[in-house]
Each structure stands twice: as C-alpha cells, then as structure tokens.
Structure 1
C-alpha cells in the first residue's frame, strides 16, 4: 500500500512539475512567428527559450502572445506581414522607429482580437488603411507622426469600441468624413492636427461630446461653432491655424474646458461674458477679427496680451483700455 501511495505521489508531482514548466513556455507557433518578425526588422536580442519572458512580449494564461511592443531601438525595413500571424494579439506597439518604412500591411486585418494599435513616430507611408474598420475590438488607434497620405476612411466611425483616434502629424488630405458625426463607439478624443485637411467640418460633429478635439494646423474652413456647448464635458479644444469663420459672440463653452486655442482663424464677434466662468489653463484667440471689450473676471486677464493680439478691435485688459485709440492691424 505504501509503495502504491509513493508511486501515486510521484506521478502527481511529475504532472505538477510538467504543468508548471509548460506555463513558462509560449506557444511554439507564436515563438516561430516572433522570430520571423524580429529577423525581418533586423532585431538581434539575446533570447531565452520562453518567448513569454522576452522583452516587450506579454502572454495570456494559455501562453499565447497578446502583446508586442517595440520602441526606441534601431530597426530597419517595413512592418513584417507576419505580425498578422499572432492570432491572439491584443496590443501592438511599434513606435519611435525612424527607419521603419513602407505601408501598414493588410495582414493586420487578421488580428480579430486587436484592441490597441500604436504605430507612431515612424516613417510609414501610404494611406490610413480602410481594413482597420474590420477590427471590431479596436479601442485605440494612434498612427501619428508618420508620412501617411490620402483621405481619412469614413468607415473608421463604424468601430463599435473605438475611444480615441490619433492621426495627427501626417500628410492627410481631403475632408473630415461626414460619418465622424455618428461614431458607433463612445469616442472621447479625436486628433487630426498638422495635416492638410480642407473643407468644412461635418455639422453632425456637434452631436458628439468629445473630451478632446484637436483640428489645429489644417486648411479647414467655415463654421465650427457646433463643437461648443455649455452642457458638454469637453476639456480640450484646439482649432488654431485654420480658416474657420464664425461669430463667437453667442458661443457658450462648457465649464469643463481647460484648453481653448482658436488663434489664426477668421473669427468675428466679441468674447462672451460666459467665458469668464471658465477655469482656463491655456487660452489664445489672437490673429482673428474679434472686436469689443474683453470681459473682466475669471481667468481672461491671467493671460498676457499675446493671447489677444492682432484682432480687429479688441480692447481692455490685458490689451490697452477701450478709451485709448489703437492703431488696428490691416486685414487683407
């Protein structure tokens, strides 16, 4: 009886040991795929047998790779198509790799569990891929600081779980898609700055309550007043350096706004008294066509004259008194 018990305990111990060791080894298919990716990108790390312990790799409880993050190292070439052969990948980060070139490979569309796509500060070219709209689990897209060109796919608005879209600092052209006024997901941030977008923005954008919207440094024009609203929860609005034209006199800004930059547009009217109720950390309305007395109170006098310069006829602190004749700038 004692011998049988000893044998049983030995078998159980062996099983436990085998199970424990197996948890330390990532799936062989994932390991082979990772080796191909690293070879294609000319990355030569000193690697352990268990790829789940590799730098910038994370696995789930089933030893499948769910995260790959490569940044701030010297790589070359394009994004390897084998990235699409990590079937359980949820997080893909390739950032600050200046020698990473080429287009975003269509094999990424195979990553049906992907939630987080961060491909910024590289030298990627080509379009913002239409196929991204097939990845229904995507929550975050960041393709900023690249050389992407062409128009923005309107189909991105169909992503049901999207919370943030970051496409700034590229060479994108065309208009903001009309469909962006009806995102399926609860999008809190949209960043499209430093591109070459043109035309008017969709009126339907006014239906959304962004936390952050940054459309700065484009060629956008027309009315953008629908982005404002006293009942919204917006924190950051940057419309600077465009060609927007609307009267701000009746524009009410949400009390949650801390960052408001409208400089270098063609805005008209006077600054509303309601803006004295804002708790502003950043504010700029310079280089517009505003007129009238700057309302007294709140944070409006905490900013220096540079926040108000080069308007049609603004006056009052921090600018000269409204009783003083000022030589006004000439607008062409």
Structure 2
C-alpha cells in the first residue's frame, strides 16, 4: 500500500463526518423556525430544535427535495401561545398542522397568506378565536382545510369556493353564524367534501346545490331550515349525508337517494311524507329518521329492518317493523275516533 492510498484511507472518515455535519437546511428556514420556537415558549415538541443541528433532522418538520421546510406539525402539546406570524416566513411550506393544542389562542395570522405552496391546512382542537380568514382564498394550492373544534365565529367566507384545487373543507364545531354562502353552489374546482356541523348556521341551503354531487356532506346540528331535497338524486354518487338536528321541512315521499349512500341521518327535523320503497335498495351502515313527522308503513326489504326502533321513533304515524304493525296503529286510531 503506497503513502497516497494510506493517506486517503486515514482522511476518508474525516471527510465522511464532515459531509454528514453539513447543514442541509436553508438558513432562512432555520432562523424562522427558531423564532417560532421562541414565540411559542419552547414547546416540548420542539425540544430537538438545537441551532447546532441541521433543522431538516428536527422533530415536527420535514424538508423537501431542495432542503427547504415543507411541513410543520405541532400536535398534542400543552403549549400556551398564539400562532406566531413567523409561520409565514417558511415560503416553501406545503403542510401546516396545529392540532390538539387546547391552550393555543388568538387568531389565524394573516402572514399565512404568504405560503403560496400550501396544500394542507389543519388547525383543530384549539382555543383559536376570530373569523375563518377571507385571505385563505388567495392560497390557490390549498387542497385540504380543516378548522374544526375551535372557537371561530362570524360567517363563512364565500370566497373559499374560488379555490381551484379544494377537495376537503371542514369547519365543524365552531361558533359560525349566518347562511351557507350562495357561492358554494358553484365551486371553481371539483365539489369538495363539506363538513359544517355543530355551528349556528341558519337560513336555507342554496338552491344551486341541486347541481352539485357531494361525496360527503354534513350539515348537522345547526339552525338550517327549508327544503334540502336538492341534495338527493338517484344519479348522484353521494356516500355520506347528515342533515340531523336542524329545522328542514320537505316531503321525502318522492326523494330518490343515490344507491351509493352508506350513511343517511335525517333525525330531528320536520320531514313529512312516507319512506320511499326505493330506499330498500340502499346498502346502509348508518340510518336514522327519528323525530320527524313521517307517516305510513316502513318499506320491507333491504337494510331498513336491520336498524332498531330507535332509528324510527317519534314520528307522526310511522308503522311496521321494527315499530308496531300498521294494523295496530289503524285499530288504535279507530278506537280514538
């Protein structure tokens, strides 16, 4: 072995160690992350964020191909703080998650509007207040918005319908008021899964919803009223529909439900008419029409008898299995007359 070969062998471990210690993370991203850590009072989830280390190796973050921060995820922490404005200083961020942080307060900072590559925004189970930001409509790459289980108030910005790539919109369990925006009847892109339950929304559903084919829609536990029959249709591909605990009033007798429907909950409304025979063709895992004003026999067949009486209770004169037979109801009515 000559002297040159020996020297290279001796230097190789040093060269290898030097290459590993090289900081791949962009210095601007590292500075922004350290500011975020300080502003959030050094949460436990960020304990690995040592300035001496490559920030691409830190917990709760991920780097993309260009070694720029593309994901920031702070979840299940007892941090007491607000979302720092420096979040907007991570220009290549695609995934932003603040989840199960009960002591996270304040509003969603407007600096988020700088995140032009943001695809996935999940802020839930916090104590955030303020409105659903209008500026979210400027983030044209957003595909997923989940702002559920917060304390957000005010109306839903109709401009969210302008997002061309939106596939999922979840605003449930807040304190939102007002009506469902008329613009939601004409989303610019595909029709997203829409979850607006457990708010204080009022008014009627936009009539333009008749032309939309929601795969999943949940409007339960609001103060919505009027006709919701336009959400149904035999040619639609809906899988999940929950209208429970509102004030909807329409005749379901001629309502045809898509054969794809698996979850159908209409309880606690003012629905009238009788259950259509066509509903026996459905393959249902969840079904409830209790606390309405339905009448007539429950059609026999399909999955309708697979559910117990709880799914049908407290209707005007609904009868047949799993409730009392229609003959018993008729006899009781004759006696009363």
1:276 matched to 2:276? The reply is no
Aligned partner of 2:49 in structure 1 is 47
Aligned partner of 2:81 in structure 1 is 77
Most deviating of 32-41 and 110-119: 32-41
Compared CA separation, residues 18 and 208, structure 1 to 2 (3 A): farther
Question: Does the Cα contact within 8 Å between 2:34 and 2:49 map onto a contact in 1?
Answer: no
1:29 matched to 2:45? The reply is no
Q: CA deviation at 1:184?
A: 1.0
1:203-222 aligned within 5 A: 203-222=207-226
Aligned partner of 1:323 in structure 2 is 327
Compared CA separation, residues 299 and 75, structure 1 to 2 (3 A): same
Residue among 186, 191, 206 paired with 2:195: 191
Structure 2 length normalisation: TM-score? 0.91
Question: Does the Cα contact within 8 Å between 1:188 and 1:209 map onto a contact in 2?
Answer: no
Q: CA deviation at 1:188?
A: 3.4
In structure 1, the gaps of 5 or more residues are none
Aligned partner of 1:241 in structure 2 is 245
1:166 matched to 2:173? The reply is no
In structure 2, the gaps of 5 or more residues are none
Q: Give the Cα–Cα distance (whole angstroms) in 1 for the partners of residues 141 and 302 of structure 2.
A: 43
1:141-160 aligned within 5 A: 141-160=145-164
- When the two chains are superposed, the root-mean-square deviation of aligned CA atoms in Å is 2.3
Question: Does the Cα contact within 8 Å between 2:83 and 2:108 map onto a contact in 1?
Answer: yes
Question: Does the Cα contact within 8 Å between 2:249 and 2:272 map onto a contact in 1?
Answer: yes
Q: Give the Cα–Cα distance (whole angstroms) in 2 for the partners of residues 246 and 166 of structure 1.
A: 26
- Deviations 1:144-190 (CA, angstroms, capped at 9, x unpaired): 00000000000000000000000000000000000001011213310
